[in-house]
Amino acid sequence: MTQRLALIAAPLLLLAACGPADKKTETAAAPPAAEAPKSGPVAVAVTPYADGPLRVRADGVGPITAATAFDQPTIAALFPKAVVKSAFIHVGEGPPGPIITVEQDNVPLLEIGKGTEGGIAEIRLAGGPVEGPKGEALLGKWADLGFDIGQCRAGEGRTVNQTVCVRPEAPTVAYVFGVPGWTKGGLPPVETLKAKGQLNEFVWRPAETAAVGAA
């Protein structure tokens, strides 16, 4: 090999020995793992009232509980076959208070009163296929329902001249008994209650606002 060719070949051999230039390999970032859905409140289905017995329980009336809003659309959704209206009622001193009435098959079922905090304060039931916690029916006899006079008191306000009784196991439910012709106020004698007392109305209140014997 001549000296000129040797000078040209030497740099080429050096380049071949170095090999191809290093290339940076870009690796695509892996997508972040999908987050597990956060657990939230579980919706509990409530079955609207259609017909048949409407049960008054310690924790509510039919589909209504202490958590139910005092709201006409809400009550209408729970009683889809009924006529649900907003109204006002004047009881005692002060301005009239808002109520919601529920009527089905031309029979008044419920009168729902509003509390000072905006929720349901009470529900009065004086007609229709209503049943108490033990299956008691309206117009049932005081003597047949197993009350002791110590569980009863004289009614006041809307229940004046009536007898209000409460069972210890269901303090949120008041039983309002009437004695035909009784206008003396106070509690009638036990003998009179046994002979003439009949169940005229149930009154349910949420546990937070219920008072033993209140109606």
pLDDT, tens digit, 9 for 90 and up, residues 58-95: 999 999 999 999 999 999 999 999 999 999 998 777 78
Per-residue pLDDT at 32: 54
Q: How far is CA 11 from the centre of its chain?
A: 91
Six-digit token pair at 134?
Answer: 């033990």
Burial of 198 (0-12, 13-18, 19+ CB in 10 A): middle
User: Which residues pair with residue 214 across a beta bridge?
Assistant: none
CA distances to 6, 51, 113, 149, 168 from 174, in Å: 118, 23, 15, 14, 11
User: Could you tell me the pTM of the whole model?
Assistant: 0.76
Asked if 156 contacts 202 with a C-beta cutoff of 8 angstroms, the reply is no
* Domains of the chain and any CATH numbers: 54-204 (2.60.460.10)
Assign 203 a pLDDT band (cuts: 50, 70, 90). very high
Per-residue pLDDT at 210: 55
What is the percent of the chain with per-residue pLDDT over 70, rounded to a whole number?
75
- Asked if residue 209 has pLDDT above 80, the reply is no
